Amino acid sequence: MNNKEIDKMSFEETTIKEKFNFLLWFKKFNVPKWIAFFGLFIFAISYVFTIRDFINAINGPDADASTIWFGIIDRFTNQSNWLLFIYCFLYVFFSKNSLLKGNGLLISIMVYIFFTFIGYNVVLVGLSGGAYGYGGSNVVDTVSNVWLHILCPIYFLVFGYFEMYYNPNKEPKKFWKLLLLGMIYPTIYMIYVITIPYTYGSHTETIDGVIVPETYTVYGNATNVKDYPTAWAYVMVMYLIFFPGSFAIFYFSWKGFNKINNKKIENKKTNIEI
């Protein structure tokens, strides 16, 4: 098989020998694919931070099996960052995978990681305050926070917009279908967030003779709908306004790139005719 024939094929369609012809594959990369390729290394570090959290959790003074789920796996920050590596891996090496068809997954993950960026930096750090921020108890904690809440979100959003620019007219065909499917994950997570304070860890502890209520919530007071009624405002605004609004922003951004591209094509046709 010659190089021209391979150029027409995706990574998954080639033989094992052809898959290791890296120079050939690199020649085929356009700008979005290069961004996704380097993103794999950036997003892989997110898993390193997660593994570190696992180790700290199981070696902590109050360690038990639940500490791995509560506070690590159930964090939207971790879940959304894990999706970045998975998406870029499929995009670079398995571009014809059915999950990528229609680009609904791309916009959905852009929305999820955008929520991680805004939810942490604006809501948790800016509005609700508390224990969230970038100070950290050590340098690794600080780097981890910046990596997961600033670097990775911005990098993936940049990748998404480059994908829109280089691949116009490939956005999901129906906005409402995109919204309904894309909101499945936030809906499940929202139900988890508002029910977990009532179903897990709700108890009282006696500290210095004073009975103090203790409630487990995913993100402190911002999601503690049991003890802080204002938390309902944070949760509902994010679910009912932020998520649908973000889907609309990214979807119609792609539509905007379409108009720009179509106008360029029309101008080229006009110049040729002249």
Place of tokens 């995706």: 10
Give the pLDDT score at 221.
80
Report the alpha-carbon distance of residue 206 to residue 135 in Å, rounded. Answer: 30
Query: Which of 217, 150, 40 has the alpha carbon at shortest distance from 142?
Result: 150
Give the pLDDT score at 7.
47
SS3 of the chain: the string is CCHHHHHCCCHHHCCHHHHCCHHHHHHHCCHHHHHHHHHHHHHHHHHHHHHHHHHHHHCCCCCCCHHHHHHHHCCHHHHHHHHHHHHHHHHHHCCCCHHHHHHHHHHHHHHHHHHHHHHHHHHHHHHHCCCCCCCCCCHHHHHHHHHHHHHHHHHHHHHHHHHHHHCCCCCCCCHHHHHHHHCHHHHHHHHHHHHHHHHCCCEEEEECCEEEEECCCCCHHHHCCCCCCHHHHHHHHHHHHHHHHHHHHHHHHHHHHHHHHHHHHHHHHHHHHC
Query: Which of 241, 67, 246, 224 has the alpha carbon at shortest distance from 153?
Result: 246
Backbone angles phi, psi at 226, to 5 degrees: -75, -45
pTM: 0.83
Q: Is 247 left (phi over 0), alpha (psi -120 to 50) or beta?
A: alpha
Give the pLDDT score at 55.
82
The answer to whether the CB of 170 falls within 8 A of the CB of 199 is no
Which sequence spans correspond to the domains of the chain? 3-273
**What does each of the 274 residues of the chain score in pLDDT, given as a tens digit?**
444 444 455 555 555 555 555 666 677 788 999 999 999 999 999 999 988 888 877 776 666 666 777 778 889 999 999 999 999 999 998 888 888 888 999 999 999 999 999 998 987 787 655 556 666 668 888 899 899 999 999 999 999 999 998 888 788 889 999 999 999 999 999 999 999 988 876 555 555 555 555 778 888 888 888 888 888 998 999 999 999 999 999 999 998 888 887 776 666 656 555 5
Query: Which of 166, 219, 210 has the alpha carbon at shortest distance from 192?
Result: 219
Give the pLDDT score at 65.
60
